[in-house]
Structure 1
Amino acid sequence: ALAEAVAQAGEAGRTAVVVELDGRPAAVLAIGDTLRSGSWRAVHRLRGLGLETVLLTGDGPGAARAVAAELGIERVHASASPERKAEVVAELRAAGRTVAVVGDGVNDAVALASADLGVALASGSDAAIGAAGLTLVRGDIEAVVDAVRLARQTLATIRANLLWAFGYNLVLIPMAAVGLLNPMLAAVAMSLSSLLVVGNSLRLRTWEPGRVQRRGGRR
């Protein structure tokens, strides 16, 4: 029975510790890490944004498979050294993918630095924070999702501002140059254009992170 417990612990991604009593095996303790709070929600929200999640870890295959199964992640790289993590990032980028790495450990520093975007948690190591391009001050892993949503909203605002500015310059300035529009009216329109761009940008100040409502004790 104890041998079976050791095997089951390995399959579940746990470290088996055998307890002896008077020199004879008496029990098996299965030790392992627990998932960070909000990890499941963060992974599924990222997937809902159209992003693919990959588990890249230095843990053994058993622990990696157990965590991946719990989170619903299909692509797993286990027993990965810091160099191997950087190689996986390079392979993904060579395949034409834009890669963001989220990590908080010293072993993640190389991968964080080599990715298109490195995201570190403020509770992580100094090496990870120094190598990352973005540090999340909240300890909540779901802040990664909020960062992606805010970045997309910011980019959409920039594109809208550029579209308006180029549209104004393309239409009104030539009309004023050939005398079809009073220069004073063109100047007023220019001021209104600047105010519109500023006002559109200030809308980002009202942006708030998305919240998942609880129902029946779950969310």
Structure 2
Amino acid sequence: MIAKIIKGREFDRLALYLMENGRGEIIDMRNLSSDDPEAAAQEMQVAASVSTRTQQPVMHIVVSYDPQDNDPSNADMARDAAEVLRGLGLGKNQAVVIRHRDRDHAHMHIMCNRVGPDGRAVSDSQSYPRAEAALRRIERRRGLTITPGRHAPDPDTGRRMRGDRTTPGPRQHGAPGGVKKALAEARSWGELRSDLARQGWRAEIVRRGNQNGGR
């Protein structure tokens, strides 16, 4: 399973897109009094207006399933959506879960209001790590194909998306041996740049505060 997260300002535009040409199948409506996505969008916009500081109250989450697995039922999707929302701290917030069948793989869209019943917006910090961690829990619980993420790796192998990284954190990268050798042996910036260029790398000077550093 993989997740994509997009933030926005207008619930009604997203609702129209998700239900365009009758392609959307509603599988859950959470913490809402409305019974259709368009009315729910208006209800969510009113609720979001309570938080005048929140410029992007819309959280649009797309969850896709591995095509190797059997298609989930609508009930499965509703439970999975609830778990993803809880993982993001949005379990008590307004949300509409809509299934699309216009791709070769099963997937759903979650339109959620970041502004909760207390009038405060749930932080979107670390959204991808938290969403991916929820997906790993769902995969393990339901026996689905485990898809390594960039932030939440395969729980058995520790492998991550892109290069099967096994580092403890997604931002900890190892440098190739040739790069390490160039850094250790270069006698000038010119020599370092030339050596790195031959290996397909480049050195840049970056400024942090009042200090310069290389990368």
Q: Shorter-chain TM-score: which interval?
A: under 0.3
TM-score, normalised with respect to structure 1: 0.24
The structure with more radius of gyration: 1
TM-score, normalised with respect to structure 2: 0.25
Greater strand share, structure number: 2
Structure ranking higher on relative contact order (CA contacts 8 Å, 6+ apart):
2
